[in-house]
Structure 1
Amino acid sequence: MPLLFSYGTLRDPNVQQINFGRLLAGRDDRILGFRLEQVEITDPHVLAVSGRTHHPILIATGHPGDEVAGAVLELTDDELRAADDYEVDDYRRVEAPLASGGTAWVYAAR
């Protein structure tokens, strides 16, 4: 089962219900080597689902001391593809290290 680190709207229960049809199991963690900024969202579907014009976005720094809090979510391959469809505009999915050890997929700036 894929792991996805979420630091923004994918942690929202309403967003999860709309995108995946269920609430995702998860645990608190931190992603290493990134900092947070904001990005303007222009996709009409994402705007309607999240209700927000600006979302947080990870910027890779490569410095292990830079970290962002969030949650590691467990989802299926189909749900990961649904997350790809939701995370549009300036996002891309990459694999990144977790503070707890191991890695997870995460959406970061292109």
Structure 2
Amino acid sequence: MSPDAVSPDQPFEYLFSYGTLQHPDVQLDTFGRLLDSDDDALPGYTVDYAEIHDTRVVDLSGLSVHPIVRETGNPLDKVVGRALVVTEDELDASDEYEVALYRRIAVVLASGRSAWVYVAA
């Protein structure tokens, strides 16, 4: 993966997505562009589902039920998703998109990359 769409003088980070932040419509609305990304996985977590009541998020994603991950501590558990290349400003934009059911934490992905991910609050 190369962060081609990120300016060379602008630092980038990885944001692990297992849900709607992978959707092109959500990316265009939230970040103003389609993000570069790679397949990756989040070990030690499992996927659950949460009902979303924020009409903006539901209208944009087309879904009223979104996946949400919870830590299990079991290294055999893993969540499959994508490591998105984002700037600090785009991380701020993703914070605005996510509802209060989620909080952003730092993790290490199966690839060894450090990334941010939204987990159950």
Q: Which residue pairs with 2:4 in the alignment? A: none
Deviation at 1:96, TM superposition (A): 1.4
Give the aligned residue type for 2:67: P
Paired amino acid for 1:74? V
| Alignment map for 1:22-41 (pairs within 5 Å) | 22-41=33-52
Corresponding residue number in structure 2 for 1:80:
91
After superposing on structure 2, the runs of 4+ consecutive aligned residues of structure 1 that deviate more than 4 Å are none
Task: Measure the CA separation in 2 of the matches of 1:74 and 1:102.
Answer: 12
Superposed counterparts of 1:1-110, under 5 Å? 1-110=12-121
Moved more, 59-68 or 29-38: 59-68
Give the Cα–Cα distance (whole angstroms) in 2 for the partners of residues 61 and 28 of structure 1.
21
Identity among equivalent pairs (%) = 50
Query: What is the TM-score when the length of structure 1 is the normalising length?
Result: 0.96
Structure 2 alignment gaps of length 5 or more:
1-11
Q: Which runs of 5+ in 1 are unaligned?
A: none
Q: What is the aligned-residue RMSD (CA, Å)?
A: 0.8
Q: How many corresponding residue pairs?
A: 110
